[in-house]
Amino acid sequence: MELALFDFDGTVTFADSFTPFIRFSAGWTRLLGGSVVLSPLILGYKLGLLPTPKIRAALAYVCFKGRKEAHVDELGRRYAETLSSIVRPEAMEKIHWHLEQGHRVAIVSASLAPYLRCWCATFDLDLICTALEARAGVLTGRYLAADCTGAEKARRVADRYRLSDYSEIYAYGDTREDLALLRLATKSFFRGREVAPEDLDTCLAQSGAVSTRR
């Protein structure tokens, strides 16, 4: 049995999917109000003073707090239908190859469940990602658990699968946020190129890989 783990933004896609979903689902009132409230955080992020997970969480809070879960899920379904425009053909070829070999394939991403759940269902892929917390069908604006990035990716994979059951584990990523995920694998691929486990740190350093994608 073999397992293939794919980061999403920047690995399966060539563009960010998180921020466009915020714009797609927020509506003009929240976008305008949020731009004022979040402007200090956005400036800090652009200056490199605020880590990516923090700004993602702040954007999600402003966009989703108090909204009906079912409505946001419907927006996610509609948004998922647009993702083909940013998906890398070579990444989809690799996903389909794994499926044809009978491998178990999972997307492991810090991006959001409302649209990734629908996209993954289309291709019969497992999904591990950042989910939104809801109470009585209303979103709180917070995450259900931690942002699914960095070491959290590896932790959730280990919780979901008994890794010793797999004779081969493939992992695909494109930034330092994927390093822990890549270290789980017997075959690691960074930006499409196979990298030996002992060379991962050097490869990331040479590439200038930063934590900006999911």
CA pseudo-torsion sign 94, 95, 96, 101: positive
Does residue 138 surpass a pLDDT of 60?
Answer: yes
**Residue 85 in domain:** yes
pLDDT score, position 214: 44
* Rounded CA separation 170/4 (Å): 5
pLDDT score, position 196: 87
Helix (H) or strand (E) segment spanning residue 77: helix 69-80
Does residue 181 surpass a pLDDT of 80?
Answer: yes
Helix 113-123 × helix 18-26 angle, to 10°: 120
Q: Are 2 and 170 in contact (CB under 8 A)?
A: yes
**Residue 197 in domain:** yes
Average pLDDT in the 83-112 region?
A: 98
CATH of the domain at 139: 3.40.50.1000
Determine how many CB atoms are found less than 10 A away from the CB of residue 62.
Answer: 19
**Residue 212 in domain:** no
Average pLDDT over the chain reads 89
Per-residue DSSP letters for 102-158? T-EEEEEEEEEHHHHHHHHHHHT-EEEEE-EEEETTEEEEEESSS-S-THHHHHHHH
pLDDT score, position 105: 98
**Residue 210 in domain:** no
* Better pLDDT: 166 or 29: 166
If one counts the domains in the chain, the total is: 1
Residue type, 5: L
What percentage of the chain carries pLDDT values higher than 70?
Answer: 86
Q: Are 150 and 173 in contact (CB under 8 A)?
A: no
Residue 194 bridge partners (DSSP): 189
- 186: three-class secondary structure by DSSP: coil
* Rounded CA separation 62/106 (Å): 29
**Residue 214 in domain:** no
pLDDT score, position 194: 93
Average pLDDT in the 13-22 region?
A: 94
* Domain region containing 34: 2-205
Per-residue pLDDT reduced to its tens digit, 192-201:
999 987 788 8
**Residue 211 in domain:** no
* Rounded CA separation 163/21 (Å): 32
Greatest alpha-carbon pair distance for the chain in Å reads 51
Q: Give the best-scoring range by mean pLDDT among 28-32, 88-92, 199-203.
A: 88-92
Per-residue pLDDT reduced to its tens digit, 42-76:
555 565 656 788 888 988 998 999 999 999 999 99
pLDDT score, position 206: 76
Read off the tokens for 127. Answer: 């999904």
